Amino acid sequence: MGRNLLKTEQAITFVKETFSRKLMLALNLIPVSSPLIVLDGTGINDDLNGIERPVSFPIKALNEQKAVVVHSLAKWKRVRLKELEIEAGEGILTDMRALRPDEDYTPIHSIYVDQWDWEKCIATTDRNFAFLKESVLKIYNALWETENEVAQRYPEKVAILPKDIFFISSEELLNRYPDHTPKQRENAIAQAYGAVFIYGIGGELSNGQAHDGRAADYDDWSTDNEAGYKGLNGDILVWNPSLNTAFELSSMGIRVDKKALLQQLEIRQSMDRTKLSFHAMLLNDELPESIGGGIGQSRVCMFMLKKSHIGEVQVSIWDEQQRTTLALQQVHLL
């Protein structure tokens, strides 16, 4: 068993190195360092859906000031673009590690999160759906090429991604499957097309509900633009036959500008956040326009290596009963 686990570790390294290299080339990204913790009360930590609790602790050397373990780096990356004087058309890529203690355990969820977090400076004229779509296509092509290289190196890992990814708005998806829940709609569309980008996630749909939750202060999900698209963000999903379900690999989007930030904070009744340092910087035109996202490293490895549990590609905390039960099913957690 030990040698098989070692082979899995080697395959994980191959997937990560291959995809990160292709992603940097596709989006013109520069690798940078990133924090595990940030100070509380700055507004820099990602709020995800706005309800998850971060891991927090006091720092003795800073007079007990509280620090929080990051959920993701959605806001930090934008500040870093400014600090590094990154120009439009260039971006950064970082190896993000996070803890999300409120995450429910499932075969695809752990309290430990590892992502490729990327952020890219854009021109004001790039705040449109065409630019978002172009970026999605570059990321998806990097995924497609990576899967094919994995299949060449490990012939038992058969490549299954379609060459093209299908685009659909969350409103169009609702109209197509009006009697389905959001998760059922994702399953249906992912199984039908193999790979799909669902855009416009976070705002209220015609049924009075959002497709999924999004914080108000990073992705622009409320914008109606000249082409009739609502929302400049979305998720890359693929169909995962190992789990028989839609499988999210990435969440991304064009980031809020001043107008979108105020609009979305008002929708969420969170205008008090304008007093936080990140939000004040944005409202004072001190941050660059950007697009960015997170791509799950363990998720990508799961899919590329045809694994059925996230614990097969990452080291996390699991209860012993779960380990024993899964081992009987020949699923061995790292």
The active-site residue out of 20, 46, 47, 250 is: 46
Show the tokens assigned to 298.
């363990």
Q: How far apart are CA 95 and CA 197, in angstroms?
A: 23
Active site residue 319: no
Using the structure block, give the residue that is written with the tokens 């080697």.
10
The single residue of 235, 257, 289, 312 carrying the catalytic annotation is 235
Is 46 an annotated catalytic residue?
Answer: yes
Tokens of 174: 């609702």
* Radius of gyration of the CA atoms of the chain, in A: 20
Pairing of strands 91-99, 29-32: parallel
Q: Which of 115, 135, 222, 298 is catalytic?
A: 115
Say which of 135, 169, 251, 263 is annotated catalytic.
251
| Both structure tokens of 164 | 């093209």
Query: Which residues share a beta bridge with 115?
Result: 96, 296
Q: Can 100 be counted among the known catalytic residues?
A: yes
In the residue annotation, 235 being an active-site residue is answered as yes
Catalytic residue among 117, 248, 257, 312: 248
The active-site residue, picked from 47, 72, 80, 100, is 100
Facing residues of 292 across strands? 119, 253
Whether residue 285 lies in the annotated active site: no
Q: How many residues does the chain have?
A: 334
Segment (H or E) for 121: strand 112-121
Name the residue with tokens 């602790």.
57
Give catalytic residues, as residue numbers. Answer: 46, 100, 115, 235, 248, 251
